[in-house]
Amino acid sequence: MRVAHISTIHKPLDVRIYYKECRALAAAGYRVHYLVPDPPAAALDGVTFHAVHRPSSSFRYWRICNRLVGVYRQAASLRADVYHFHDPELIPVGMLLKFTGAKVIYDVHEDSPQEAISLNRDRPIAGRLKSLVFQVFEAAARRALDAFVCATPTIARKFPRARTITVHNFPQVEEFRPLPSRRPGPQAAARPNRVAYVGGITAIRGVREMVQAMSLLPADLQARLALVGDFLPASLRAEVERLPGWERVEAVSWQPREAVVETLRDAAAALVLFHPEPDHLDALPNKLFEYMAAGLPVVASDFPLWRRIIGDASCGLVVDPLDPQAIAAAVRYLLQHPEQAEAMGRRGRAAVETRYNWSAEARRLVALYRRTEKP
């Protein structure tokens, strides 16, 4: 079977789309194509890439319409048996692809209608309009598309049970090697007191509070914050650079997977401090489980679901993500108690090895594809 994954907004080597789903399907014997902006020139791990057409126009909405028409034409030309798309704006394209006789799957990464409101707090009318458009799109998708792959059980409840599966964004354990000991000694002394955050850097994911918390840590800890990812919007960086604590920050833009893994290997703890937005409360962010897979103790937002995951594994601390003082206190505890922090990290790694890993999710995805082969 020829399958085509499509995204207009994700990166070509996106962790969920390429590293997990596309590679799992290629390993299962499918001919996998990935239509995405700025792809690699050559095939990787059995995945063939195709560049999304990018129309040039100064009028944003005309540019979007042209892009969607171009994506439909490019996707249809692939003559896939299954089209699997990853962005809510592509729902109309998916509906049209149904007319080619192919099966069409919508991969729902986020609660898009709610996320549109959360990301547009400074433009509430635009946010609610975008949310309404996504609600209409998803209502149409529920009636017409063949299957839905949802990143969390909460998102899955919005779609028809008989045609919906949950494929969690859990990490590939083999990607993260066991960390060396952080216990007091020559080896530990050589390791910096660095805490890490990896992923999209936005206000509602707590970047202001993370930076401010750094300014509240004792100078003798020599603590550093490693931010790995792109600021969204880009103008946010200039604002954050003016905050107290920025002098303790090491910020780099999006990095390949190998660099991300090395960043986590050089850290003593990791942060996931999303604000209590409605679409965050039941989220299962990839970064949380990657931190655990890397053997790092986590400092996370005190949401009921996250508190239960972290509490069951005893792998970190939960705090009010809007309180820099509370964040700083948690980071200080982990840096000043390396043996306890290391034990938390080991327990988090064990939880990923036994429960929160990609292996079972890959099998569930491939099983869905097997079902689409049946008449």
192-241 residue pLDDT tens: 799 999 999 999 999 999 999 999 999 999 999 999 999 999 999 999 99
- Whole-prediction pTM: 0.92
Helix (H, G, I), strand (E, B) or coil at 226: strand
Q: What is the pLDDT of residue 46?
A: 97
Percent of the chain with pLDDT over 90: 90
Computed over every residue of the chain, the mean pLDDT equals 94
Q: What is the pLDDT of residue 58?
A: 61
pLDDT for residue 283 is more than 60: yes
Q: What is the pLDDT of residue 231?
A: 97
Percent of the chain with pLDDT over 70: 94
Look at residues 81, 57, 58 and name the one whose alpha carbon lies nearest to residue 69.
Answer: 57
What are residue 2's DSSP bridge partners?
31
Instruction: Answer whether 263's CB lies under 8 Å from 228's CB.
Output: yes
> 6-55, pLDDT tens digit by residue?
999 999 999 999 999 999 999 999 999 999 999 999 999 999 999 997 77
Backbone φ, ψ for residue 227 (5° rounding):
-105, 120
Tell me what the mean pLDDT of segment 267-278 comes to: 97
Q: What is the pLDDT of residue 67?
A: 86
Q: What is the pLDDT of residue 64?
A: 80
Dist. CA 153–CA 164, nearest whole Å? 10
For each of the domains in the chain, give its residue range(s) and CATH number, in order of start: 2-170+357-372 (3.40.50.2000), 173-354 (3.40.50.2000)
pLDDT for residue 188 is more than 50: no
pLDDT for residue 190 is more than 70: no
Tell me what the mean pLDDT of segment 304-316 comes to: 98
Tell me what the mean pLDDT of segment 346-366 comes to: 97
> 154-175, pLDDT tens digit by residue?
999 999 999 999 999 999 999 9
The one-letter amino acid code at 19 reads Y
> 58-99, pLDDT tens digit by residue?
667 777 888 899 999 999 999 999 999 999 999 999 999 999
pLDDT for residue 185 is more than 70: no
Dist. CA 310–CA 312, nearest whole Å? 6
